[in-house]
Amino acid sequence: MKKMKKIIIIILFAAMSSLYVSAQAIHEYSVYGGGGLSTLRYQLSQGDRSGGVGGDFGVGYTYFISKERVTGTGKIFNEFWGIHTGLGFGFYNAKAKLNNVETITKGLKDSEAVFNQFDLHSTLSGYKETQKAVCLNIPAMAIFQINQIYAMGGFKFGIPLGGKYKSKDATFTNKAWYPELENWLEEQEFAGYGVSRRNSDGKLKRGVTVDFALESGWKWYINKNFSVYTGLYFDCGLNNVSKNSKKSFVNYTSANAGNFTTNSVLSSYRDNKEQSVFTDKVKMMAVGVKVRLAYCK
């Protein structure tokens, strides 16, 4: 009987040794900043894309449940489970490069000519375009921390606040084919033909982005109420955010023929056909280092 009691006591002690001996709710408020590769991710049908440096800055709120767990050996682990949200500004950059690409803008009209319908053929050399975007990011993430190691996972929703593109000193060689005349016009500079260098800029339209988000690192305690997080973060866009209606790459009008501009490669086709776009999907991506200053109570 005594032996049986000892066995029962040992089993109960082993079971209770892994239970949480205390629990506490914690409200944590934070400000953070991070940076690294932060870019628009897409594939060009002709040319190359490269990423750019960007950042992520904002404020956060985390609701924690803090627990102490005692193992059978008597070692104490501090565990924290919680949910995290906030508001932040994400800055994204990308570059596109096109080499020796020919585009065709069909069905143009010259109101001052007798035979006024023509197709504009443009050959590009050294075209480089930079793209910048800003989002208001709202995270919805779960967080787990054991002692000082933490990990977060969930989603971020990015509301577009602005976006623009810019190209500089691109070389264009323009010529026009007049089907009624069965003839080319190639050298009339006043009509935008021949060789010229052009700068262009404009706005980028984007939709709400949904990112799969991860973050992990180390939490440094300054005192009872203040701490500093240092970690790595990774945001991977899940949806296509391009909302630009596809247009001809070259903006050409007979009224302003000598000062033509271009649309972004993110919103253009090469020969008036929707299937001949430079790119059809644009997603967001960011990876870098983040520092967070937190206050809890």
Mapped to the 3 state alphabet, what secondary structure does the chain carry? CHHHHHHHHHHHHHHHHCCEEEEEEEEEEEEEEEEEEEEEECCCCCCEEEECEEEEEEEEEEEEEEEEEECCCCCEEEEEEEEEEEEEEEEEEEEEEECCEEEEEEEEECCCCCCCEEEEEEEEECEEEEEEEEEEEEEEEEEEEECCEEEEEEEEEEEEEEEEEEEEEEEEEEEEEECCCCEEECCCHHHCCEEEEEEEEEECCECCEEEEEEEEEEEEECCCCEEEEEEEEEEEECCCCECCCCEECEECCHHHHHHCEECCHHHEECCCCHHHECCCCCEEEEEEEEEEEEEEC
Locus of tokens 């992520």: 56
Q: What is the pLDDT of residues 229-239, one digit of tens each?
A: 999 999 999 99
**Amino acid making up residue 196:** S
The pLDDT mean for the chain works out to 82
CA 158 to chain CA centroid, nearest Å: 9
Q: Token pair of 200, please?
A: 């262009």
Q: Reply yes or no on whether the pLDDT at 199 is more than 90.
A: no
Cα three-residue angle 205-209-210, rounded to 5 degrees: 170
Q: What is the pLDDT of residues 145-174, one digit of tens each?
A: 988 899 999 999 999 999 999 988 888 888
pTM: 0.80
Q: What is the per-residue pLDDT for 11?
A: 39
Number of Cβ atoms within 10 Å of the Cβ of 207: 14
Q: What is the per-residue pLDDT for 76?
A: 65
What is the greatest pairwise CA distance in the chain? 115
Which of 42, 199, 40 minimizes the C-alpha distance to 128? 199
Q: What is the pLDDT of residues 55-70, one digit of tens each?
A: 999 999 999 887 776 6
Q: What is the per-residue pLDDT for 249?
A: 80
**Banded model confidence at residue 32, pLDDT cuts 50, 70, 90:** very high
Q: What is the pLDDT of residues 207-232, one digit of tens each?
A: 999 999 999 999 999 998 999 999 99
Q: What is the per-residue pLDDT for 48?
A: 86
Provide the CB-side half-sphere exposure for 184 (13 A, CA).
Answer: 8
Q: What is the per-residue pLDDT for 210?
A: 95
Q: What is the pLDDT of residues 76-132, one digit of tens each?
A: 667 889 999 999 999 999 999 987 888 787 777 776 665 577 888 888 888 899 999
